[in-house]
Amino acid sequence: MQTKILLPEDRIPKQWYNVIPDLPGPLAPVIHPGTMQPVTPDDLLPLFPMPLIEQEVSQQRWIDIPEAVREIYQLWRPAPMFRAHRLEKALGTPAKIYYKYEGTSPAGSHKPNSAIPQAYYNKISGTKRIATETGAGQWGSSIALACQMFGLECTVYMVKVSFNQKPYRKSMMQLWGAEVIPSPSNRTNSGRSILAEHPESNGSLGIAISEAVEDAVSREDTRYALGSVLNHVCLHQTIIGLEAKEQMALVGDYPDVVIGCHGGGSNFAGIAFPFIADKASGKKVRVLAMEPLSCPTLTRGVYAFDYGDTAKMAPVAKMYTLGHDFMPPGIHAGGLRYHGASPLVSQLVHAGVVEAKAVAQLACFEAAVLFSRTEGIIPAPESSHAIRGAIDEALQAKEEGKEKTILFNLSGHGHVDMAAYDDFLAGHLTDYEYPAEAIKESLAHLPKVG
């Protein structure tokens, strides 16, 4: 009975997989928020280095992973895959459940898979400093680590409420040498104008994005970095699915369904896109994205052009959206609280290639507790949405008396999220479904494009 499926170090993939050539149709253009015209590479140069801009629009199916990036990937890659024998037994299911575990990275999630190459391409392009934002701190800690590895300075605007309530992620960023600034701050015009109106503001991801972007464009030596949503981030994350395919092949298996949780789409893209390549060439495999009922972008949003951020400074992209002024409630899966979604994942959902399901918070915590008690690993609250999806698929197989092979991505561990588990175990958590009226209201403010 094999539980842990490992690849040797020299089998870290040498190329990432780019899904763009295999999409069911051409990608919609990305629109400049000021001119409402398609963005050009020159528009993006104050924000990103050229190699990342090229990756953003590349039509090449396979893109080489630089040796310097593979060397750092070796710290935790190839990431392990596990067969969840104990969970299967607890469920009494005939289904086989496999999971790919991304929590072995130094930051504890999949996010360094993209932070490392982003820092690398900035370094070779002459960037000295990176400015970025972070909500709960997963992305901030990943980019702080990556900047440290390549000798870049790093400034992270951290949403003030998290800065005060999640001190350990802040400590991780500082330990890795980053400067962490509670947002809104008096360092930028956007921060100062919020503070002038609301001195007690707790901040929001939208405000922190505005501060980081303003910081980056106002300094020649500084660029911006984003941890999800963009095409180049999804590209870097495909290392997850590429390894997973090799690991499944090692044990002579192949999934009937591949599952990932969905916030901005990067870990889902990472596990799913390499299987979508198989699907494009005729293989039978279902692909399922799991999101919270409290922020149901893929299941209840619309597929339309919208701003990437609340302040309308970020580019306008065609994606599933709940509206850029959608205010998600303070659920514990902080990494899944984004109003939009990756344009790549969105197009695949719209075309019916990818299925999406929304699940309630309590059902996810119940799944996380069962998983901790059977498999031992304490999952990040975000990842618990994928676990819920896998468990529901396994229970369905049991009901139908059918065999089924399930693969899901365990995007990170929950060691820095214990306050959320404390709340759950103490019975303080409730379910929250976003009201249809409020979604309708924020969808009334979409920009008019073309």
Ligand X SMILES: *Cc1c(COP(=O)(O)O)cnc(C)c1O
- Residues lying near ligand X in the complex (CB under 6 A) are found at 109, 111, 138, 228, 261-268, 335-336, 380, 382-383, 411-412
Buried b (16+ CB within 10 A) or exposed e, 328-352: beebbbbbbbbbbbbbbbbbbbbee
Q: Which is nearer to ligand X, 206 or 412 (CB)?
A: 412
Nearest distance in Å: CB 334, ligand X: 8
What does the alpha-carbon distance between residue 347 and residue 259 come to, in Å, rounded to a whole number? Answer: 17
- Residue 115 corresponds to which tokens in the numbers above? 């932070």
Nearest distance in Å: CB 40, ligand X: 26
**Residue type for position 386:** A
Nearest distance in Å: CB 236, ligand X: 11
Q: Which is nearer to ligand X, 12 or 380 (CB)?
A: 380
3-state SS, 327-382, equals CCCCCCCHHHCCCCCCHHHHHHHHCCCCEEEEECHHHHHHHHHHHHHHHCCCECCC
Nearest distance in Å: CB 349, ligand X: 13
Nearest distance in Å: CB 422, ligand X: 18
Q: Which is nearer to ligand X, 190 or 411 (CB)?
A: 411
CB neighbours (10 Å) of residue 14?
Answer: 12
At residue 138, φ and ψ (nearest 5 deg) are: -65, -45
CA 292 to chain centre: 14
Taking alpha carbons only, the member of 218, 219, 145, 140 closest to residue 181 is: 140
Q: Which is nearer to ligand X, 78 or 412 (CB)?
A: 412
Q: Which is nearer to ligand X, 301 or 335 (CB)?
A: 335
Nearest distance in Å: CB 169, ligand X: 10
Nearest distance in Å: CB 102, ligand X: 7
Q: How far apart are the first and last CA of the chain?
A: 58
Q: Which is nearer to ligand X, 141 or 247 (CB)?
A: 141
Contacts of 352 (CB under 8 A, 6+ apart): none
Contact (CB, 8 A) for 272 and 19: no
Q: Which is nearer to ligand X, 228 or 310 (CB)?
A: 228
